[in-house]
Structure 1
Amino acid sequence: MSDYIVAFESAYGSTKQYAESLAQRLGVDALNFEQACAELAANPTAAIVVLSFVHGPSHPGAKFITDTDLSGHRVALCTVGMTLDDVVQKKDGAARSLGNKADDVTRFYLPGRLNYSELSTAHRTTMWTIVNMLKAKPLKNDNDKMMINTFDTDVDRVDESRLDAVEEWARGL
């Protein structure tokens, strides 16, 4: 029985990298969501850290939290994405995705990796469409400019030191 559960879903690998690193720090295994559900029953008071990518409105981690009975657990959600820190914190899209569970979930945002060379055709087409819409905007913010400037470029902003705050939360520090 462990004091911690690290659950994740990853599309291209940066979320998995964060999950495995955090799990190693906490002395547990990183689990996919199905495995985590089984672990929740075995550890009814473990702190759970859910790590997930976000692609537009799709946030598998928030869905896992809203669809799962996590009563008795302290819960944190780590959203991994490419949006600039100040923008993602201000918008706090994870709170909207969590709905009425938002007040019970501590939220962290972690910078990810977007390798255009590894994108599926559908994801690449979506990004092309978004970037072209951003180019047409008359007033662009810093996040818009970043998306335009990094289009079709492999960008790795993963920073495992950002897990320090998540680890502190998990350990109750």
Structure 2
Amino acid sequence: MSDYIVAFESTYGSTRQYAEDLATRLGVKALHLTEAAAAIEANSTAPVIVLSPVHGPMHPGAKFVSYTDFGQRKVALCTVGMTLDEVAQKKDGAAKALGSKADSVQRFYLPGRLNYSELSTAHRTTMWTIVNMLKAKPMKSANDKMMINTFDTDVDRVDLGRLDEIVAWAQN
């Protein structure tokens, strides 16, 4: 049995990249969320680290954590997204998505990648709509301005060095 369980969901690849690098650092294999339940059941003490993108209100990792019984083990949820760090940490949308489990789950935010050149038509249309709504706002936040300024460009903010904090949490 492994000492850690690293589970992930990924839409465009940045979350998978984080999960695979984290798993390598911890000496385990990254598991897709569909494989994670069996590993959690097989090893009742291994700390679990779930990595997941957030797309608007959709947070597959938070949903997985909310519906899984982890017993007394350590659990972390790592949200990967494009929101500016200070906004993501202040808003702490993962805590809201976790509901009653929020206090027992360590939360981390990791900056992701948004390559417009790879987006599905539906996702691109959604982003176009959001950006146009933001342009119409009279008072724009720094996050709003970032979304407007990076629209229709490939942006890679993945920073594997940010995994150091998660490794330290897992190993303590």
5+ long unaligned stretches in structure 2: none
2:9 aligns with: 9
Q: Which 4+ residue blocks in structure 1 deviate beyond 2 angstroms? A: none
1:137 aligns with: 137
TM-score (norm 2): 0.99
Q: Which moved more, 1:149-158 or 1:64-73?
A: 64-73
Could you tell me how far apart the structure 2 residues matched to 1:59 and 1:71 are?
22
1:100 aligns with: 100
1:69 aligns with: 69
Measured after TM superposition, the shift of residue 2 of structure 1 is: 1.3
5+ long unaligned stretches in structure 1: none
SS of the equivalent of 2:5 reads strand
Output aligned runs, 1:91-170, within 5 Å.
Answer: 91-170=91-170
Aligned-CA RMSD value: 0.5
| Alpha-carbon displacement from aligned partner over 1:16-56 (angstroms, at most 9, x marks no partner) | 00000000000000001121111011110000000000000
SS of the equivalent of 2:167 reads helix
Could you tell me how far apart the structure 2 residues matched to 1:12 and 1:171 are?
29
SS of the equivalent of 2:6 reads strand
Q: Which amino acid aligns with 2:147?
A: M
2:44 aligns with: 44
| Alpha-carbon displacement from aligned partner over 1:75-113 (angstroms, at most 9, x marks no partner) | 000000000001000000000000000000000000000
Could you tell me how far apart the structure 1 residues matched to 2:69 and 2:34 are?
13
How many residues align? The count is: 172
SS of the equivalent of 2:45 reads coil
Could you tell me how far apart the structure 1 residues matched to 2:92 and 2:117 are?
29
Q: Which moved more, 1:123-132 or 1:66-75?
A: 66-75
TM-score (norm 1): 0.98
Measured after TM superposition, the shift of residue 67 of structure 1 is: 1.0
Q: Which amino acid aligns with 1:85?
A: D
